[in-house]
Amino acid sequence: MKRHIFLPLLTYPDATSEFMISNAVALAHHMQATLTVCTVEITIPNVSNALSSLIIDTAKMARDAQALSRKQASALTRLAVDEAKAASVDARTRQIKVEEPFVVEALAQAARAYDLVLLESAGISRPVVEAVLFGSGRPLILYPSAPFGGRIDRVAIAWDGSRAAARAAHDASIFLEKASKVCVLSVIDEKPMAYETGDDLVENLLKSGVPAETTRVRARGEPIGEVLQSKAFEVRADLLVMGGFGHSRLREFVLGGATQSILTGITLPVLLSH
């Protein structure tokens, strides 16, 4: 079954980088997936009044912001189409025009029609990542702003036996099935957990023909996200898989420690699922 990847291209206030487009095209080529490139153009309602006009020209600022967003959208679309064509990737384009405060909701809704969403960690607001992660119902791969080859050969799974971790491992199955090595990482001094659950996961992966092993590490007070990424690098993982933990109250997300540290600084591609 052919997979479908969704790549939002943000245009305001910061634009998605060329690195992210190259990473998305490379991953789509590796997965033999379609790639839908979706530019997000912002619109800004006219909120000027006589008093504000005496201080700053808000109407002109809005026009300038919208013009910049359109210009960035056009340039990014051309680049994505050209790179996809060069890599023989089946790429489609679409566009979202939305008032700036509603970008997060629009992206979460649009992402629901695809198998996988790709976002860049740098240059975007945390609410965008949170909206897609918790509101789309789809797994998300978050990339640093750096070039990565599209091939995902080694995978590390952050495992604590939780529902979120199980969901993430399941959503990463397309990568696990093709991996040459899977490492199940468990941090054993951060919270109580049943050690055998990681062993059970490894046993089932091995029975499915996936080369897997368990690795247990101690955080020793360090941020969990940093510990997991450091160990993933040590085992030469191309992708770190982890559950995104959070709940909402009055529309404000309260994040688990590992999710929080991942969202504030990543060093390798991370598949997050909720």
| Residue bearing tokens 């909720």 | 274
Position 250 scores a pLDDT of 35
In a domain, 148, yes or no: no
Considering 143, 164, 196, which residue would you say is the last residue of a domain? 143
Between residues 266 and 250, the one the model is more confident about: 266
In a domain, 123, yes or no: yes
In a domain, 15, yes or no: yes
| Residue bearing tokens 């600022």 | 61
Domain range for 70 is 4-143
User: Do 167 and 267 fall within a single domain?
Assistant: yes
Mean pLDDT for the chain?
Answer: 86
Tell me: pLDDT of 245 over 80.
Answer: no
Nearest-CA neighbor of 184 among 244, 231, 246, 238? Answer: 231
User: Do 137 and 165 fall within a single domain?
Assistant: no
Position 126 scores a pLDDT of 74
Position 247 scores a pLDDT of 45
In a domain, 43, yes or no: yes
117/106 Cα distance (integer angstroms): 14
In a domain, 204, yes or no: yes
**Residues in contact with 142: Cβ distance below 8 Å, sequence separation at least 6, in sequence order:** 119, 120, 121, 129, 262, 263, 266, 269, 270, 272
Q: What is the pLDDT of residues 7-34, one digit of tens each?
A: 999 998 889 999 999 999 999 999 999 9
Q: What is the mean pLDDT of residues 178-188?
A: 93
- Pairing mode, if any, of strands 140-143 and 270-273? antiparallel
Position 97 scores a pLDDT of 94
3-state secondary structure of 226: helix
User: Do 73 and 21 fall within a single domain?
Assistant: yes
198/28 Cα distance (integer angstroms): 30
In a domain, 172, yes or no: yes
User: Do 17 and 137 fall within a single domain?
Assistant: yes
Q: What is the pLDDT of residues 53-81, one digit of tens each?
A: 555 667 788 888 888 999 999 999 999 99
User: Do 13 and 135 fall within a single domain?
Assistant: yes
User: Do 43 and 94 fall within a single domain?
Assistant: yes
Which CATH number goes with the domain that contains 99? 3.40.50.620
Position 257 scores a pLDDT of 54
Considering 99, 116, 143, which residue would you say is the last residue of a domain? 143
Q: What is the pLDDT of residues 131-176, one digit of tens each?
A: 898 899 999 999 988 889 888 999 999 998 889 899 999 999 999 9
Considering 119, 143, 167, which residue would you say is the last residue of a domain? 143
Answer whether 73's CB lies under 8 Å from 95's CB: yes
In a domain, 38, yes or no: yes
User: Do 114 and 81 fall within a single domain?
Assistant: yes
Tell me: pLDDT of 193 over 80.
Answer: no
Q: Distance of alpha carbon 87 from its chain centroid, rounded?
A: 22
User: Do 180 and 269 fall within a single domain?
Assistant: yes
Nearest-CA neighbor of 271 among 121, 163, 171, 145? Answer: 171
Position 101 scores a pLDDT of 82
Q: What is the pLDDT of residues 78-111, one digit of tens each?
A: 999 999 999 999 999 999 999 988 999 999 999 9
Question: Hey, what are 213's tokens?
Answer: 């092993």
Position 274 scores a pLDDT of 84
In a domain, 254, yes or no: yes
Position 251 scores a pLDDT of 39
User: Do 107 and 208 fall within a single domain?
Assistant: no
User: Do 119 and 213 fall within a single domain?
Assistant: no
58/42 Cα distance (integer angstroms): 16
- Pairing mode, if any, of strands 252-255 and 212-217? unpaired
User: Do 76 and 20 fall within a single domain?
Assistant: yes
Domain count, the chain: 2
Tell me: pLDDT of 181 over 70.
Answer: yes
Residue type, 85: K
Position 56 scores a pLDDT of 64
Answer whether 90's CB lies under 8 Å from 114's CB: no
User: Do 197 and 222 fall within a single domain?
Assistant: yes
